[in-house]
């Protein structure tokens, strides 16, 4: 073949290869270089798609993050607002309680006891006798046993059993619980039913004795499992009934003992009330006859000054047939607060400041005079035969010659029953009310109390 033929053959081969390459690879220039370039472009396209997807994902993540941060910020804001509100409520309550306490100690006189009716006590009968537990042991035991028996009967009546118990009633014992547990399982029942059905179908292919034996056996097994399954509910009811009866029987002796103990406590309470009745009756007789010792017994027994004692003040007294002298020891440092409280910054903070001396002394004076009114009123309410009470309030006073605080009389007042009865306790000012009675008091707002001489008690 000549040169032209070789060249022509080579070109035909190249063209054929390009045609095949175009069909296979879809490239107009099917050369190894172009194939590699196409693969790189495909890779670059995939990377660009991945990059774009990543960018979309990042935007989504950023949006979710911003929403999450926003929600957290809102929750934190709401929580902070709740905590702030709780703090404001707590602060307001603290200030309110502080101011309420100041108001209370300035109005101790308003809360006094009811008048004692000694004549009614003299005419009353002693408490009715309450039998001991030994005396009522037979009745209490019978009552308790009847109660337990009624509970058992009621429990039995509420435990309704099905007809299955007539067939399998002997199995209703705790030791056979596993049988009912298995039979009541739904899967077990279905499998058993299928096996019995298969046995019945299989029996149709048999003849003679075997046919009826397999059929009857399958029916017996299925009915047995079915009855036990139905009886599982009865079994649980029966077990619960046994447990209830066992519990009631166990509680029988405990309840008897408890009822006997309660009866004994009632008897002891009766003995205490009887003893108190005798004491009060003797006090009533003594008061009717104006026995001064009975006045003391009455005050000690009924303790009408206990509320005043709770504020930190102490009381002692002496009596005679016509009047009572009460020494009232004021512990101002324990009773009167020396600070004021108010809320600031819209309730977020409580500001506590030293109370001005004039304000402290004003509260102190009202407290002392309010207690004088209260003490007198309590005496008159308890002892209607007394018409006069002398109250000596004693407080800590600076001795300018020694520089030390000493306990001195700061108010001495003679309170008359009829005059006190004319006062309106709800509206009066305790300090101003002293002007209604003979009294000694040296008080100035800036200086406080100065010692005074007591009235002579006669």
pLDDT greater at residue 212 or residue 360: 360
pLDDT digits (tens, 9 = 90+) for 38-59: 777 777 777 777 777 877 888 8
DSSP 304-328: TTHHHHHTT-EEEEEE-SSEEEEEE
For residue 183, the model assigns a pLDDT of: 61
Q: Could you tell me the CA-to-CA distances from 373 to 11, 82, 307, 390 in Å, in that order? A: 136, 46, 13, 11
Res. 235: pLDDT tops 80: no
Nearest CA among 94, 120, 114, 15 for reference residue 341 = 94
Tokens of 396: 């800590």
Task: Compute, in degrees rounded to 10, the torsion defined by CA atoms 223, 229, 230, 231.
Answer: 110
d(CA 286, CA 220): 95
Mean pLDDT of 270-286: 93
Q: How high is the pLDDT of residue 173? A: 56
Region 286-306 average pLDDT: 90
Cα(389)–Cα(381) distance, rounded to whole angstroms? 12
pLDDT at residue 168 tops 70 = no
The pLDDT value recorded for residue 133 is 93
> Worst-scoring range by mean pLDDT, 15-19, 109-113, 176-180, 361-365?
15-19
Q: How many residues does the chain have?
A: 458
**Residue 291 in contact with residue 319, Cβ under 8 Å?**
no
- Please report the pLDDT score of residue 184 as a whole number: 62
In the block, residue with structure tokens 């999450």: 68
CA–CA separation, 430 and 375 (whole Å): 13
pLDDT surpasses 60 at 166: no
**Other C-beta atoms lying within 10 Å of the C-beta of residue 325:** 21
Residue 238 has pLDDT above 80, yes or no: no
Query: Is residue 410 within a helix (H) or strand (E), and if so which, with residue range?
Result: strand 404-416
**Nearest to residue 430, comparing CAs of 360, 355, 375, 372?**
372
Contacts of 91 (CB under 8 A, 6+ apart): 343, 347, 348, 349, 350
% of the chain surpassing 70 pLDDT: 80
Band (pLDDT 50/70/90 cuts) for residue 321 is: confident
| Residue where the block lists tokens 């292919």 | 205
Q: Taking 80 as the threshold, does the pLDDT of residue 228 lie above it? A: no
Name the pTM for this structure: 0.64
Contact 328, 409 (CB under 8 A): no
Question: 4 pLDDT exceeds 90?
Answer: no
Bridge partners, residue 413, by sequence: 391, 439
Q: Say how far apart CA 130 and CA 121 lie, in whole Å.
A: 21
Q: Give the per-residue pLDDT at 10.
A: 56
Whole-angstrom Cα distance, residue 441 to residue 429? 16
Reported confidence tier of residue 19, pLDDT bands at 50, 70, 90:
very low
DSSP state of 169: G
Query: What pLDDT, on the 0 to 100 scale, is given for residue 427?
Result: 93
**pLDDT at 402 exceeding the cut of 60:** yes
Closest CA to 438 of 370, 388, 366: 388
Q: Is the pLDDT of residue 216 over 90?
A: no
Alpha-carbon dihedral 147, 151, 154, 160, rounded to 10 degrees: -160
* Least trusted range by pLDDT, from 98-112, 126-140, 206-220, 320-334: 206-220
More reliable by pLDDT, 271 or 190: 271
What pLDDT band is residue 297 in, cutting at 50, 70 and 90? very high
No. of helices (H) and no. of strands (E), the chain: 14, 8
- Distance CA(368)–CA(332), nearest Å, equals 9
> Would you place residue 20 in the very low, low, confident or very high pLDDT band (cuts 50, 70, 90)?
very low
Average pLDDT (155-184) is: 60
The pLDDT value recorded for residue 11 is 53
Answer left, alpha or beta for residue 312, where phi above 0 means left and psi between -120 and 50 means alpha: left
Average pLDDT, the chain: 82
């Amino acid at each position: 073949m000549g040169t032209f033929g070789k060249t022509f053959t080579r070109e035909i081969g190249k063209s054929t290869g390009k045609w095949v390459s175009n069909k296979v690879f879809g490239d107009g220039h099917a050369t190894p270089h172009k194939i590699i370039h196409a693969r790189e472009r495909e890779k670059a396209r995939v990377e660009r798609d991945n990059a774009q997807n990543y960018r979309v994902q990042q935007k989504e993540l950023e949006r979710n993050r911003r929403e999450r941060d926003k929600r957290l910020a809102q929750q934190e804001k709401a929580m902070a607002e709740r905590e702030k509100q709780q703090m404001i409520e707590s602060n307001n309550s603290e200030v309110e309680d502080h101011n309420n306490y100041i108001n209370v100690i300035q109005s101790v006189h308003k809360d006094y006891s009811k008048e004692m009716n000694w004549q009614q006590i003299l005419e009353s009968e002693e408490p009715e006798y309450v039998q001991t537990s030994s005396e009522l042991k037979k009745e209490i035991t019978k009552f308790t046993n009847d109660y337990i028996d009624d509970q058992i009967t009621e429990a039995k009546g509420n435990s309704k059993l099905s007809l299955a118990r007539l067939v399998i009633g002997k199995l209703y014992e705790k030791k056979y619980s596993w049988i009912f547990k298995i039979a009541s399982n739904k899967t077990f029942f279905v499998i058993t039913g299928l096996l019995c059905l298969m046995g019945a179908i299989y029996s149709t292919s048999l003849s003679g004795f075997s046919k009826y034996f397999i059929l009857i056996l399958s029916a017996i097994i299925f009915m047995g499992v079915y009855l036990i399954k139905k009886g599982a509910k009865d079994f649980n009811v029966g077990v619960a009934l046994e447990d209830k009866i066992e519990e009631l029987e166990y509680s029988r002796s405990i309840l008897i003992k408890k009822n006997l103990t309660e009866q004994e406590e009632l008897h002891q309470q009766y003995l205490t009330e009887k003893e108190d009745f005798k004491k009060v009756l003797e006090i009533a007789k003594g008061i009717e006859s104006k026995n001064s010792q009975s006045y003391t017994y009455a005050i000690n027994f009924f303790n009408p000054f206990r509320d005043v004692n709770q504020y930190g003040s102490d009381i002692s007294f002496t009596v005679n047939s016509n009047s009572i002298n009460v020494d009232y020891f004021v512990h101002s440092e324990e009773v009167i607060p020396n600070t004021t409280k108010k809320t600031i910054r819209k309730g977020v903070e409580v500001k506590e400041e030293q109370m001005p001396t004039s304000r402290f002394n004003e509260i102190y004076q009202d407290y002392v005079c309010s207690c004088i009114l209260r003490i007198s009123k309590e005496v008159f309410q308890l002892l209607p035969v007394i018409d006069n009470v002398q109250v000596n309030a004693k407080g800590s006073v600076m001795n300018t010659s020694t520089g030390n605080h000493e306990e001195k009389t700061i108010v001495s007042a003679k309170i008359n029953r009829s005059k006190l009865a004319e006062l309106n306790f709800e509206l009066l000012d305790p300090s101003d009310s002293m002007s209604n009675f003979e009294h000694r008091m040296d008080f100035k707002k800036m200086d406080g109390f100065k010692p005074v001489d007591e009235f002579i008690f006669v």
